[in-house]
Amino acid sequence: MRRAGIDTYRQPVLYLHRDCPVCRAEGFAALTRVRIGSGGRDTVAVLNVVTGDWLSAHEAALSEAAWQALRPEPGALAEFAHADPAESCSLLRAKVYGARLGEQDFAAVLRDVLAARLSDIELAAFVTACAGDRMDLDECIALTRAMVAAGDRLDWGAGPVLDKHCVGGLPGNRTTPIIVSIVAALGYRIPKTSSRAITSPAGTADVMATMTAVDLNLGELRRVVEREGGCLASGGRIRLSPADDMFIQVERPLDIDSGGQMVASILSKKAAAGSTHVLIDIPVGATAKIRTPAAADAIARRLTLVGEAMGLRVGIHLSDGRQPVGWGIGPALEARDVLAVLRCAPDAPRDLRERALDIAGAVLELLPESRPGRGREAATVALDSGAALEKFMAICEAQGGFREPGKARFARAFVSPTTGRVACINNRLLARVAKLAGAPNDPTAGVVCTLREGDPIDAGAPLFVVHAEAEGELAYALNYAAGHADILAIRSGPE
């Protein structure tokens, strides 16, 4: 066996030459699922057949995922066999055809997902079959419970454990680091784990990774929380609802978010993290993820009911999702906004500050002893006094040390073709420009947009500035913007 050095996400892939005697004897063809055994370990991989001369007929090459699963010694031999169909394949097909699944059914699917017994194609079929309105409330509860049971679960002992989550879809809405710092500064526990970006230019973990270490293991996370009351970590190494990370790997290239799976994803991780009181922020706007008040009410109801079934007190915060929050869109650019708010800088984006205070106040008012309005008052004092900044720096220090976010090599403005006022901002298109510029893979890439609806603009003045690490990506993002005049729609003429 040899290492192919090919990244295939988490899907183990085996490469055999078409003239390989094992291939011919066993009737292996491209995309055959093959069980590989070596040195007491085994995995199931999808076969890719090699026709060129980079692989001999007596070698087997392994993708990175397959290599890490087997970890063979130098010169190791392997045994190959047709893999038995995954036990959950029949359940997957049943769901595709509209059947309802129970908790044990979902548990069987998750076992096969975590053991890599389902191919990416099969996993994509499952994710798609659960998308839209194809999961009822009972199924959503069953999937949430199965996802919690499939991983580790934290226990912080008696007393409230606070948390918050935003369903997303709003560029630059990076309130979490500010909220965690405020809540922890006030003496409450808030062990926050976040995912990397799925369909957006940045997730909270991507933003925090520009300032400190986020890939903590379970022991490191517990140490940080016990020392500082909160953390701002990635959930990637902790195995809290680990199947969700597998779903995310499929959802990212499909660019979809399933409503039922989104609820199960959010609440399974909150329950697994030991949270007791969870505030969910739902931005609502025509180009946000949740587009109408009716859709927001539906997802809020499902979050509340599934939360109750999981023993969580869930609060809902509906917010304005018509336009971006903060100036930056992209990991490092959003990190700069977070620091500006925490440092109470005079040029800090006010909308980010106010939204963070609103949500922090709502988190604090989930506590039984809290009274309406008092939460926001306490949050404002913690921010304005510098206590939140001090706590943020302490959390970063506990996670490995703080560093200032970097800057991109290239930046260029996209200018307004006309004089007028900003009529509306398309969140999805603006986020797309940031992604084409390289975010989140290039942490310093993205977009800076300081305009808001109703702001005046002169012809030739910047609508937004694109930041990129490569000139090609910069040009690609700007060309895309030039072809989509409604990213920032300008109403010309008198107001």
- Which residues are catalytically annotated? 257
Q: What's the rounded Cα separation, in Å, for the pair 155 and 275?
A: 9
- Which strands, in side-by-side order, build the sheet including 462-468? 328-329, 446-448, 462-468, 410-415
Give the amino acid at 468.
A
Q: Give residue 147's Cα distance to chain centre.
A: 16
Q: For tokens 């702001």, what's the residue? A: 455
Query: Which phi and psi angles does 393 have, rounded to 5°?
Result: -65, -35
Query: Which phi and psi angles does 190 have, rounded to 5°?
Result: -150, 80
The helix, strand and coil proportions of the chain, stated in percent and rounded to the nearest 5, come to: 40, 20, 40
Q: What's the rounded Cα separation, in Å, for the pair 422 and 490?
A: 5
Query: Could you tell me if 296 and 410 are in contact, meaning their C-beta atoms sit under 8 angstroms apart?
Result: no
For 265, residues 6+ apart whose C-beta sits below 8 A from its C-beta are 147, 241, 244, 247, 248
Q: What's the rounded Cα separation, in Å, for the pair 53 and 389?
A: 59
Q: What's the rounded Cα separation, in Å, for the pair 27 and 29?
A: 6
Q: What's the rounded Cα separation, in Å, for the pair 443 and 430?
A: 17
- 277-296 in b/e form (b: 16+ CB < 10 A) is bbbbbbbbbebbbbeeeeeb
Give the amino acid at 336.
R
Q: What's the rounded Cα separation, in Å, for the pair 356 and 179?
A: 6
Q: For tokens 């109801």, what's the residue? A: 301
Tokens of 247: 């779903």
Q: What's the rounded Cα separation, in Å, for the pair 360 and 107?
A: 35
Q: Angle at Cα 152 formed by Cα 314 and Cα 129, nearest 5°?
A: 65
Residue 47, H or E segment: strand 41-50
- 393-430 in b/e form (b: 16+ CB < 10 A) is bbbbebbeeeeebeebebebebebeeebbbebbbbebb
User: What is the C-alpha radius of gyration for the chain, rounded to an integer number of angstroms?
Assistant: 24
Query: Which phi and psi angles does 253 have, rounded to 5°?
Result: -70, -25
Residue 290, H or E segment: none
Tokens of 156: 């912080």
Q: How many residues does the chain have?
A: 495
Q: What's the rounded Cα separation, in Å, for the pair 148 and 35?
A: 28
